Structure 1
Amino acid sequence: MAQKVKLLATAAMGLESVVAQELKNLGYQDLQVENGKVLFEAETSAIARCNLWLRTADRLKVVVGEFKATTFDELFEQTKALDWERYIPEDGRFPVNGKSVKSTLYSVSDCQAIVKKSVAEKLKQKHGIASRMEETGAMYKIEVALLKDKATLTIDSSGSGLHKRGYRTGQGDAPLKETLAAALVQLTNWKPDYPLVDLFCGSGTILIEAALIGQNIAPGFNREFASESWELVSDKEWNAAFEEAESLANYDQPLDITGTDLNPKMIEIAKQNAIEAGLADLITWKQMESSDFKPSKPNGYLISNPPYGERMSDRESVEKMYRQLGETMRDHPSWSSYIITSHEGFEKLFGAKATKKRKLFNGFIKVDYYQYFGKHIR
């Protein structure tokens, strides 16, 4: 019978519901959505499938156990009571990192040391080892997270964060994380047969993510994961997940995607990144001013992360650009506009109230995602 595990997909603030929807689309039910995470139970094959397919989650972790701990003794004993031997083999490497928020046990370094010692004792006992653990095998990165005295112990199955798709050869000064870029696309109702434009494409992340979504290519297809070398997830499960991803990709889906930027260096970087992602022929890149944009087809979508004008020296030119953009889009009412910015006066400058607005974070910057729905021409 297939083994079940408890899994935790971590998410940036504001993206939890997007991650939950992705998990539902993958066929996982009974999801528990909390701040910064989505919890669910599934068979071990989900570790392979979710790492390959989740576009907007940061990491996928296996939950080993949860309990209340207000003393170091409690932390040690309850950690030791968990079935670590189910997950970590005799030669497994298991570094421990931690975090503590509003908890009695606030010294993270002490919590890490205690969990490390406790797990080592349990594994030595179960694997019949008298001396020190070798730790020469696969990586099982443990995290002890304390929140209001509740300890959650997890093992990271992803390795590098899931935003690292493996295609980014270069980036600009303030790159948009791939997971957020994918969320910006998924929060629109763009379909692959509609034109899509990003007038401030930077290193091309939004459009590369859109092309992967448009052709239903699994975002993790070209990278490796820590759990690929775990005994818990069989080679058969990994092979099945990769075969499923290959069979579901629709490489014949035509796309009308264009990226423009004022900086020719960024256009070169975007081109290189698209080549690395295997999408070289699917996206058109142009160096131009956003004010020169004139849509030639109806029912298009503009998804952009323009400059925010956070530095006073840039503010005037950024505000002028927002006004021009609003004028252009008003002349093309069948187009939908989706703009992410931290500028609180955006709607006034753009000249219209957004149909919908969503609070998000771009790194540590609080931003709004302004959504203007076009009136599609049939």
Structure 2
Amino acid sequence: MRLVAKTFFGLEKVLAKELEDLGAGNISILKRAVSFDANKELLYKSNLYLRSALRILQPLKTFTARNEDQLYKAVREYDWSHYLSNDKTFAIDPVVYSRFFQHSKYAALKVKDAICDQFRDKTGARPSIDPVRPDLLINLHIAEDKVTLSMDSSGDPLNQRGYRTKPYTAPINEALAAGMLLIAGYDGSRPMMDPMCGSGTFLIEAAMIASRMAPNIKRREFGFMRWGNYDPELWKRITEEAKAKIVTPQHRIGGSDISVMAIDIARQSALDFGLKKYIDLSVKQFTEAEANGRGGLFITNPPYQERLKSRDIFLLYSELGSQLKHKFSGWDAWIISGNAEALKSVGLKPSTRQTLYNGALECNFQKFELYEGSRKQGGLKSE
């Protein structure tokens, strides 16, 4: 079968590499997605192992439609009895980017009506709608006049690993954080530090990478578990194999933040996932952070501007650059920020730049190589 793994803009190559490592075939990079060939085992493994994926979809039907009548007709013509019955529930998850369909909820309603009307005509009854826990979650994707209907095998988005049990202000998405760590080449073979860690997303994702823990090993439910062809014995074997692969990280992972609440949340999350013993957490200013080893990875998501005055944000980034120069020589530093001007205040020349989106905000993800010794021997590169 052909599957599509959804991800963030800029993480497509990372996700393709993850799929290649899982044994996927015929991999094709799309916009915010990667398509690939798979069997049932790989479908299950994709949901369990992929760190940078948001959903795993199985496309059912693709067609063109430029109005509600064409949409309704095409959906109603498809034989839904292969996947649904009157005693099952379903829901529609719409994603619409189209000048022909400007209201995603109305497009979803037309799809729902078409499916229900087909069952009512054939059987005199219809399946029910369950927006919370449906037996079948149908993904409706409309890009201009191209419509794709897919079964969502994930259910809840895959970034919902289960460790974020308490709310915290604007945390970075788990799949985005994992993808950024993979872009940075992190594999657990060196120390890692985030001195503005918030509720600890980078730290926990790094600890899972370093310990070879499948990111969704703690999740109890996926969409495919409610499909008619679900194989619980296969799933049990796959998860037992994943648990057997977990190892003890060889290098420390450190994080700090000025918020006591944020650090408390990070500690609880790490504890819930059995990762607390690998992560050093403390409450302190980022200027007090120290390298926890040699040749490590420094990665952080500093404030962009929302809660700081313009003058303060430039000072913060300047102090961040000073910290990197004086305390993290020999490390690689990666910073994501939605404030391009503030990033210049770091005072170092980035060796790599990449555009990512944190929510709807376009951000720069930049690498700074903090060489030891003189420039000829690998010294600091200043702007």
Instruction: State whether residues 13 and 360 of structure 1, in contact with CA within 8 Å, keep that contact through their aligned partners in structure 2.
Output: yes
1:36 to 2:32 alignment = yes
Distance change (3 Å), C-alpha of 1:71 and 1:366: closer
Does 2:106 correspond to 1:129? no
The aligned counterpart of 2:214 is: 218
In 2, Cα distance between equivalents of 1:244 and 1:266: 34
* Contact residue 299 and residue 335 of structure 1 kept, 8 A: yes
- Match status 1:25 vs 2:21: yes
| Secondary structure at the counterpart of residue 160 of structure 2 | coil
Which letter maps to 1:246? K
Tell me the amino acid that sits aligned with residue 16 of structure 2: A
Question: For the structure 1 residues 323 and 249, does the alpha-carbon distance in structure 2 shift closer, same or farther, using more than 3 Å as the test?
Answer: same
**What letter corresponds to residue 231 of structure 1 in structure 2?**
G
The AA in structure 2 aligned to 1:280 is: K
Deviation at 1:321, TM superposition (A): 2.5
SS at match of 2:299: strand
Deviation at 1:8, TM superposition (A): 1.7
Contact preservation (8 Å) 2:207, 2:249: no
Is residue 201 of structure 1 aligned with residue 197 of structure 2?
yes
Query: How far apart, in 1, do the equivalents of 2:5 and 2:79 lie?
Result: 21
1:261-272 equivalences under 5 Å are 261-272=257-268
Q: How many residues align?
A: 370
Separation (CA, whole Å) in 2 of partners of 1:107 and 1:298: 53
Answer yes or no: is the 8 Å Cα contact 2:86–2:126 preserved in 1.
no
Q: Could you tell me which residue of structure 2 aligns to residue 180 of structure 1?
A: 176
Q: Indicate the residue corresponding to 2:244 in structure 1.
A: 247
Per-residue CA deviations over 1:335-354 (Å, capped at 9, x if unaligned) read 11011111212443111110
Kept after mapping to 1: 8 A contact 2:136/2:226: no
320-329 vs 172-181, which deviates more?
320-329
In the TM superposition, residue 288 of structure 1 has moved relative to its aligned partner by 1.3
- 8 Å contact 1:258–1:284 — kept in the other structure? yes
**Stretch moving more, 196-205 or 232-241:** 232-241
Q: Quick check: 142-151 or 101-110, which moved more? A: 101-110
1:356 corresponds to which residue? 352
Q: In structure 2, how many angstroms separate the alpha carbons of the residues matched to 1:105 and 1:322?
A: 43
Residues 193 and 292 in structure 2, CA contact (< 8 A), matched pair in contact too: no
1:90 CA displacement: 4.7
Distance 1:145 1:352, change over 3 A: same
One-letter amino acid of the structure 2 residue matched with residue 243 of structure 1: E
How far off is 1:15 after superposition? 1.8
| Counterpart secondary structure, 1:209 | helix
CA distance in 2, matches of 1:277, 1:9: 25
Q: Distance in 1 between matches of 2:260 and 2:110?
A: 53
Match of 2:224 in 1: 227
Superposed displacement of residue 134, structure 1? 5.7
- 2-structure distance, mates of 1:135, 1:322: 50
Q: Which amino acid aligns with 1:253?
A: P
Which of 320, 331, 334 is matched with 2:315 structurally?
320
Query: 1:61 Cα shift?
Result: 1.6
The 1:41–1:90 alpha-carbon spacing in structure 2 relative to 1, beyond 3 Å, is farther
CA contact (8 A) 1:304 1:339 kept: yes
Deviations 1:77-123 (A, max 9, x none): 43234343333345221122434323534454443333223333555
C-alpha distance 90-322 of structure 1, shift in aligned 2 (>3 A): same
Q: Which moved more, 1:210-219 or 1:262-271?
A: 262-271
Q: Does the Cα contact within 8 Å between 1:19 and 1:38 map onto a contact in 2?
A: yes
Amino acid in structure 2 at the alignment position of 1:364:
A
Residue by residue, what CA displacement relative to the aligned partner does 1:275-295 show, whole Å, maximum 9, x if unpaired?
112212110101111112232
Distance 2:100 2:286 in 1: 53
SS of 2:310's equivalent? helix
Deviation at 1:73, TM superposition (A): 4.4
Q: Secondary structure at the match of 1:31?
A: strand
Q: TM-score of the superposition, structure 1-length normalised?
A: 0.89
Contact between 1:145 and 1:151, CA under 8 Å: does it hold in 2?
Answer: yes
Task: Return the alpha-carbon distance in structure 2 between the equivalents of residues 214 and 325 of structure 1.
Answer: 26
**1:164 and 2:170 aligned:** no
Q: Check 1:345–1:131 CA distance in 2 against 1; reply closer, same or farther (3 A cut).
A: closer
- Code of the aligned partner of 1:247: A
Alignment of 1:1-378 (within 5 A): 4=1, 6-122=2-118, 129-133=123-127, 139-223=135-219, 224-250=221-247, 252-295=248-291, 297-311=293-307, 313-331=308-326, 332-375=328-371
Tell me the CA shift for residue 171 of structure 1: 3.8
TM-score (norm 2): 0.88
Q: Which residue identity is paired with 1:200?
A: M
Identity value in percent:
29
**Residue type at the aligned position of 1:321:** L
Paired residue type of 1:240? R
Using a 3 Å threshold, how does the CA distance of structure 1 residues 182 and 107 change in structure 2: closer, same or farther?
Answer: closer
Report the Cα offset of residue 361 of structure 1.
0.9
Gapped regions of structure 1 (runs ≥ 5): none
Query: Structure 1 residues 330-339 or 209-218, which shifts more?
Result: 330-339
Task: Kindly indicate whether the alpha-carbon contact (under 8 Å) linking 1:360 and 1:369 is maintained by their aligned counterparts in 2.
Answer: yes
> C-alpha root-mean-square deviation of aligned residues, in Å?
2.5
SS at match of 1:154: strand
SS state at 2:123 partner: coil
Bigger shift: 138-147 or 61-70? 138-147
- Label 1:109 to 1:298 Cα distance change in 2 as closer, same or farther (>3 A): closer
Aligned residues of 1:89 and 1:231 also touching (Cα < 8 A) = no
